A = this chain, B = another copy of it.
């Protein structure tokens, strides 16, 4: 499951991507516009900034803006920052691999093998979806399988 945090983050990033290049958007505005609790959103934006996805400006008329072009930021990056690895199970993760405590033989584990497929599919979709594409309402041309 995607957390609220990740969902809010995606919406906030899309809002920032809609802004003219260089224009700042304030936390309060995003919060109002997208029905996100304001203080909660601030934590999220702080996270995104610390990970280098957005820049912030303090003080009066401050706000946030994308740190990179919307073509260079993907859903995958955002979701991983908020919720961690995409894999349904740590032993199937590339970015956050951890062994299953209870697993007898990882090499032949059908659960792991299948969850790796799920991870790969999710990664393909999310790492392939940029903010720019999402804004244009880009659907996937080639259906998944």
Taking chain A's interface residues, is the majority helix, strand, or loop, or is none over half, making it mixed? helix
Q: Is A34 an interface residue (CB 8 A)?
A: yes
Q: List the B side residues contacting A7 at CB < 8 Å.
A: 89, 100, 111
Interfacial residues of chain A within 95-137, with CB under 8 A of chain B in the complex = 100-104, 108, 110-111, 113-115, 117-118, 120-122, 124-126, 129, 134-135, 137
Within 8 A of B (CB), among A67-104: 75, 88-89, 100-104
Cβ contact of A139, chosen from B104, B113, B134, B144, cutoff 8 A: B113
User: Beyond A10-B111, A89-B1, A102-B36, is A144–B124 a contact (Cβ under 8 Å)?
Assistant: yes
Interface presence of A5 (CB below 8 A):
no
Bound-complex Cα distance A64 to B76 (A): 41
Q: Does A61 reach chain B (CB closer than 8 Å)? A: no
Interface size in chain A (residues, C-beta < 8 A): 42
- Could you tell me which A residues sit within 8 Å of B by CB distance? 1-2, 7, 10-11, 14, 33-36, 75, 88-89, 100-104, 108, 110-111, 113-115, 117-118, 120-122, 124-126, 129, 134-135, 137, 139-140, 142-145
